[in-house]
A and B are shown apart, each in its own frame.
Chain A
């Protein structure tokens, strides 16, 4: 088996909570807690979870936009977290990121051309004429016109701006792109266009994506494999088919059940989960989902479940994953409301 493009192990990030009454009272938020996964060459790993669960932080940790507290990130066998100075700068050519907000991700004072070539300017191994030529090629590639090069971000719509953001990410010829909620801010029709664009580019350049989103339908469309996060931890990873057809973690099941079905008579029986997400300041002991889980038992409140393999490409962190499988098979039996 060849080495995966990206391997993440035990990745953790904790923040000191602000506003603590005294130094003694200072508490720690575990935004990302012991997260591990890998991304193969040319595949898309979807990362889903509700807001605040640490998906974006995970993306930024891998990119080293935030420094992790613990863990390791290997990119093509290189230890990303130990790189410094020039080596880190070189690595950034191979890893790029597309941001969520197409309005704040483009500098309003720079022309689109300058925005796109910024990575090339910073890396400094191309001359001005070549960079400008590349910017125009990229604009064509992402479905804008090279005539747009001299315009400013405010002259574009959200979808067009996101295309500029994608062009910028492509500029240094990366192998891996983190798409951090890259389509969440766009209208549904524009979402589809941008997703198709991402898929075309993936095919053409052999890109790998880490596709972060809270939208399960979008993730289902674009991903090869999907990881589900809850409160800073990954609870289930499986290839797309397995995850959507037979989810094993109760949280994944609840998430999938919450996707609206656009047909009145096909209304799904909802496996509702009660309560709110527990505070990351004081996560419940044992399994972090135990407070809301419909099948939690004493064991769950005592002991945090480790990730374990159910099948070759199906990992889950639940003590009762086998049992929950039967439940998914007959959802009506346990459904509420």
Chain B
């Protein structure tokens, strides 16, 4: 892939969480004992306090560095030393702590004594979330309760495994805030009247809740740019230079096509039709780079009814699959809810995600009654017909990085979406991952709830077929309960391998969203 093009797209996964350690020294100015002053001899002296503060600070930095995950960027620590038992807050110390505080996404705070009034003042002024670290466990309860009571964002770091989960959730929140979605749109509405009407009611509300930005481009302008012509000769934008596919792009498009066809265990498509699909993917990459976007969605039904996809002999299925493999969340049917669900899952899991229509796989008396999979083979069905609580998620956007971005490409077949042979889709056999845990996610239309479903892979339908039919079957705890819960959320679910239920509950808490599980 064009290296320059890849570098121009700033993936959400490249975003690090900036954490600044802050340490407040506390010293006693005089030698005395009392209800809050313990010790004798040297341990009551200011010199002792200063030396011990140095020990605690060094230990704090060492344990922080040893435990920070690689997605955290540890900023230069700040240490202030004037706070003492005369209880005055020093404005120059406060200013020192506030210098460049915009750089930090999270403050990691500890001290050697009663500095709660300093923390509260700092938290109010900086408006940054604070994580407290302290070896003295009861100090954490005190400090965290005091800040929570004042509606200040705060996290106790008393266990590094849990703390790393908190850091990951905060990173995902930052990634959502830095997600800029390229949206191909046909109608001038927030949600398509044709595609995923169970998506967000309002993009404005989505931006307010998650910080995500949506950059809308017209479907006909998009389709015009698929044609290799002079870049200022598009009928929808006469005289205006656009990002048309050109001869130089075609060299790489042909290389990608060859790699895809050669690498498939089975390929049922004519080369010219694969080229058409790769062109759509390449154009999307150019537009992502040009628009400084890092996520994508397009309304396939809206586009379909223009008849121009039929004319171009391509669909966007391969585009979504290949973008997902590169860490760029990409969703079908202009389903913004699923697009952001994919942003969340991919960045929590470090894996590409799948998506699709989701329902209860209803089997009655050994017969598949719903959904209607009339083309399900006997062999496929025989393997699953006796498994209770089966759910199904199906679409046509499987990819080869479902097990992780750092893992080798999975085996795949290349088949057409359209029965007339065009519209390349990657087919993946989910049944080879028997009993693998999966997590599914969807955000509700009003942006205030998450639906989290967990299950285990039990089979697949559609690997051998064309069209929108790549189905993953998975067993859940109670499939009717799961299905009932989707009525408040919608049909599509985003899916990743692995169990991320607890991570999503934590993220929901941080985002202020109610989490429904099934």
Do A and B share a complex?
A: no
What residues make up the interface of B, taking CB atoms closer than 8 Å to A? none
What residues make up the interface of A, taking CB atoms closer than 8 Å to B? none
